[in-house]
Amino acid sequence: MQLRGLRPFFSPKYDLKKHPNYRQTAKADKRNAFDTATLFGKKLEVKPDDVFTVYEAEAADEDILNYDDVDDPDAFA
């Protein structure tokens, strides 16, 4: 196993089937699997009487934050 700031070391594997919450996983029971189609399968119906608020936004010319910036404390300044 390798952890940041430590030398690599050997560690015994943990048997996930022994975890108390294993029965709630999809591997234990397929009925526990998360189906993304239930989230995105619904269509939004817009009615003529619906009221909306419109916001104007401008895009910055700067680069977007990427994962390399996470280690850089000045990236969030």
Residue 29: predicted pLDDT: 93
Helices and strands: H and E segment counts in the chain: 1, 0
Q: What angle do CA 10, 20, 25 make, to 5 degrees?
A: 90
Residue ranges of the chain whose pLDDT lies below 50: none
User: Which pair of structure tokens corresponds to residue 28?
Assistant: 């234990």
Residue 45: predicted pLDDT: 84
Q: What angle do CA 11, 5, 8 make, to 5 degrees?
A: 30
Residue 1: predicted pLDDT: 83
Instruction: Provide the residue ranges of all domains of the chain, joining segments of one domain with +.
Output: 16-72
Rounded Cα gap, residues 6 and 41, in angstroms: 46
Q: Give SS3 for 24.
A: helix
